[in-house]
Amino acid sequence: MGIGEVGEALRRSTVHIRGASPRQPSAGSGVIWDTEGTIITNAHVIGKGAHWVELWDGRSLPADVKTRDDHRDLAKLKLPTTGLPAAAFRNIPVRPGELVIAVGNPLGFTGALTTGIVHAAGPFSGLGRRPWVQAAIRLAPGNSGGPLADAAGQVIGINTMIVSGGIALAIPSATVEEFVRNGARPRLGIAVRPVRVNRRGGLGLLILSVDRESPAERASLLIGDLLIGTQEATFTTSADLIDAITEADSGRLKLRFLRGDNPREREVVICLGDRLTQEAA
């Protein structure tokens, strides 16, 4: 197939995510995962409210949020319909220089198509150890949640953000498939702000809030505590905490922290529990 045919097929598998009514402005894009009405998009696209999804054929349908994972910025929606044109997802690793195609709804344009090349595949500096598909491709607000595909039209990632130098970052399809299969990763239940720990010359994560009945609250972490690392390593970037939660063995995470003016390090073992899946009511 030529680029035009590939683009047409991708458009039919790409949806328009809107707000609490089908007439609200675009919040972003999504990809049809299967013929049974499953949609994959970014967690930051769906926010916290109700959503309508507009299909390529013009139909607008209400969507239930089935699962969301804010750490990996993924969400799974379900539409009350079947027989949808699902996209094909590719698990074969991508290589720099491959041609890629993005489809989305940037700046109010429906089904906009852009092309570029893979710049790199793997972690991006400053964003922890998680993998990304890095592509030199022109995207804009509204492309988030839409597909990044290879020249054959197979989806290799979900477009998520633009970083310095015009590089677009997409969540690899292998990560998306793991999310669909196993649900959201465990969460700690805190909001933090990076601060410098002067007497150590390192980075600390100051706890700004603790969610009620969260793993952090059950472990007696408090607002104002300063997280400085795990049992194995000291934090050097704010992404290190997310990586530590993701990689915690058996759902248990040991954190080192400081409290108040006491210079003595403390330790706490946090039971993250099972993977969390948020089912719509």
Q: Catalogue the active-site residues.
A: 44, 73, 144
**Pair 146, 31: CB distance under 8 Å:** yes
Residue 236 in tokens: 């050097």
- Displacement of CA 16 from its chain's centroid (Å): 18
DSSP string over 66-106 = EEEETTTTEEEEE-S-----PPPB--SPP-TT-EEEEEE-G
State CA 237 to chain mean position distance: 18
User: Quick one: which of 103, 56, 46 has its CA closest to 78?
Assistant: 46
Rounded to whole angstroms, the Cα distance separating 148 from 114 reads 10
